[in-house]
C-alpha cells in the first residue's frame, strides 16, 4: 500500500465510525500505519518551515491512531509473572539489541505505534505512548512521560519526572513538540501542543500550557498562544519558573492583602556558554 492509499484508507475507516469494527481492511490499514509509525516513516506531526509554528499536523495519522483504539478489544497480556489487560491493538513493543535502544529494566513501557530511534536511552520507570516520536540520542529519564503523538527531537534530555503531555484529540491539534537539543529539567510539564524550539532550556519545575504566558525578560515581551498558534518557546531560550503579582481580578485587593501571586515562567536569558556547562550531560551514562 502506498502512503496516499494508506492515508485514504485510514480516513475512510475513521469516517465510517463504528462501521469499521469487524472490517478486516480497517485492521490491515491500522496495522500498516502502526508499523510505519514504529519505524519512523510516518509521524503525527512533521517539520514544515512553511507553516507558522514550523510543524504540520498529520491529522490522518492521529485518526489512524484513534482508529486503533476503536478497533482494539481488551485482551489479557502476560509479561513474565505479571498480567495486564489493554486494547489488543496497542501491546507493549519488543526491542532487541539490534534496535540500538537502551531500555533499562524496571517498570518502563513503550507502547506499540511509537517510534524510538537508535541511541535513545530509557531509564525506568518511564512511558512512551502511541504515536510518540523520540529521535536519536534522546534521554527519557526516570518517571518521565512522553504522551501520545508528542514529537521529541534529537539529543533532547527529558529529565526525571518530566511530563510531556499527549495530544491525540482533536485530530487537527498540534501535539507537544520538543525540538532538537532541548533540555527539559526535572519535574517540568509541557502540555497542550506547546512547541519548544531548538536548544531551549526549561529549568526544573517549569510548567507550560496553552494558557500560560511566558515573560521574556531579555526582549521585554510576553509570549502567549493565540487562537491559531500554540505557545512557542523560542530557540535557545532559558526559561525558569517565576511568579507575578495578580494584575486584575475581582479579588485584586485581597490578592495584595494575602500576598498572592500567579505562576509565571520567565525567559531569563538565551543559551550561553554557562548554560552549556550547566546542562552538559553525563556522556558516560549513555
Ligand atoms: C536553567 C539552568 C540550566 C541554569 O542555566 P544557566 O544558563 O546556568 O543559568 P544562570 O545560572 O546563568 O542563571 C541565569 C539567571 O536565572 C536564574 N536562575 C537560574 N536557574 C534558575 C532556576 N532553576 N529557577 C529560578 N531562577 C533561576 C539565576 O539566578 C540567574 O538570575 P540572576 O542573574 O538574577 O541571579 C538550571 O537552573 C536548571 O534548571 N538545570 C536543570 C536541572 C535539572 O532539572 N536537572 C535534571 C537532572 S535529572
- Note the pLDDT tens digit of each residue in 181-228: 999 999 999 999 999 999 999 999 999 999 999 999 999 999 999 999
pLDDT grade, residue 123 (50/70/90)?
very high
Q: Please report where in the chains the cell 478489544 appears, as a residue.
A: 73
Per-residue pLDDT tens digits for 140-168: 999 999 999 999 999 999 999 999 999 98
Q: How many other C-beta atoms can be found within 10 angstroms of the C-beta atom of residue 265? A: 26
Instruction: Name residue, grid cell 516520536.
Output: 133
CA distance 188 to 215: 17
Pocket of ligand 1 (CB under 6 A): 141, 159-160, 185-186, 201, 203-204, 238, 240-241, 268-269, 274-275, 278-279
CA quadruple 201, 187, 277, 217: dihedral sign: positive
> The C-alpha cell of 34 is what?
502502526
- Separation of alpha carbons 92 and 113, rounded Å: 9
Q: Average the pLDDT over 86-110 and give the result.
A: 94
Helical segments of the chain, H only: 3-15, 24-38, 59-71, 252-257, 273-278
Q: Identify the residue whose C-alpha is closest to ligand 1 atom 27.
A: 240
Q: Could you tell me the pLDDT band of residue 257, with boundaries at 50, 70 and 90? A: confident
Q: Measured in angstroms, how far is the CA atom of residue 148 from the centroid of ligand 1?
A: 29
Identify the residue whose cell numbers are 519535574. Answer: 187
The closest residue, in CA terms, to atom 43 on ligand 1 is 185
Query: What pLDDT is attached to residue 285?
Result: 57
Q: How far is the CA of 266 from the centre of ligand 1 (A)?
A: 11
Would you place residue 281 in the very low, low, confident or very high pLDDT band (cuts 50, 70, 90)? low
Q: How many angstroms separate the CA atoms of 223 and 139, rounded?
A: 28
Query: What's the average model confidence in pLDDT over 107-115?
Result: 96
Task: Report the predicted TM-score, pTM, of the whole model to 2 decimal places.
Answer: 0.93
Q: Could you tell me the pLDDT band of residue 10, with boundaries at 50, 70 and 90? A: very high
* Probe target for ligand 1 pocket from 124, 142, 185, 202, with the most ligand atoms within 8 Å of CB: 185
pLDDT of residue 29 exceeding 70, the answer is: yes
55-78, pLDDT tens digit by residue?
999 999 999 999 999 999 999 998
Cα 274 to ligand 1 centre (Å) = 10
Assign residue 134 a region (left: φ > 0; alpha: ψ between -120 and 50; beta: otherwise). Answer: beta
Range from 4-13, 155-164, 166-175 carrying the lowest mean pLDDT: 166-175
- Report the chain's mean pLDDT, rounded to a whole number: 94
Atom 47, ligand 1: residue with shortest CA distance: 159
Return the pLDDT at 248.
74
Closest ligand 1 atom, CA of 275? 7
Amino acid at each position: 500500500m502506498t502512503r496516499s492509499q494508506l492515508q485514504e484508507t485510514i480516513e475512510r475507516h475513521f469516517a465510517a465510525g463504528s462501521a469499521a469494527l469487524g472490517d478486516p481492511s480497517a485492521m490491515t490499514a491500522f496495522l500498516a500505519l502502526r508499523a510505519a509509525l514504529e519505524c519512523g516513516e510516518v509521524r503525527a506531526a512533521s517539520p514544515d518551515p512553511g507553516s507558522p509554528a514550523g510543524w504540520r499536523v498529520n491529522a490522518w495519522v492521529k485518526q489512524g491512531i484513534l482508529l486503533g483504539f476503536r478497533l482494539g478489544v481488551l485482551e489479557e497480556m502476560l509479561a513474565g509473572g505479571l498480567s495486564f489487560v489493554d486494547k489488543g491493538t496497542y501491546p507493549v513493543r519488543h526491542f532487541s539489541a539490534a534496535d540500538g535502544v537502551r531500555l533499562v529494566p524496571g517498570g518502563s513501557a513503550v507502547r506499540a505505534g511509537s517510534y524510538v530511534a537508535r541511541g535513545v536511552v530509557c531509564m525506568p520507570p518511564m512511558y512512551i505512548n502511541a504515536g510518540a516520536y523520540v529521535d536519536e540520542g534522546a534521554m527519557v529519564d526516570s518517571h518521565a512521560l512522553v504522551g501520545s503523538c508528542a514529537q521529541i527531537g534529537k539529543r533532547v534530555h527529558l529529565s526525571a519526572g518530566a511530563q510531556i503531555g499527549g495530544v491525540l484529540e482533536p485530530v487537527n491539534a498540534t501535539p507537544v513538540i520538543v525540538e532538537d537539543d532541548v533540555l527539559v529539567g526535572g519535574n517540568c510539564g509541557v502540555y497542550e501542543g506547546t512547541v519548544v524550539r531548538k536548544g531551549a532550556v526549561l529549568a526544573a519545575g517549569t510548567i507550560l500550557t496553552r494558557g500560560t504566558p511566558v515573560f521574556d525578560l531579555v526582549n521585554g515581551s510576553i509570549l502567549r498562544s493565540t487562537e491559531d498558534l500554540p505557545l512557542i518557546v523560542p530557540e535557545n531560550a532559558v526559561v525558569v519558573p517565576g511568579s507575578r503579582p495578580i494584575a486584575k481580578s475581582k479579588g485584586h485587593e485581597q490578592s495584595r492583602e494575602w500576598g498572592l501571586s500567579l505562576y509565571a515562567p520567565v525567559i531569563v536569558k538565551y543559551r550561553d556558554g554557562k548554560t552549556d556547562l550547566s546542562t552538559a550531560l553525563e556522556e558516560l551514562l549513555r
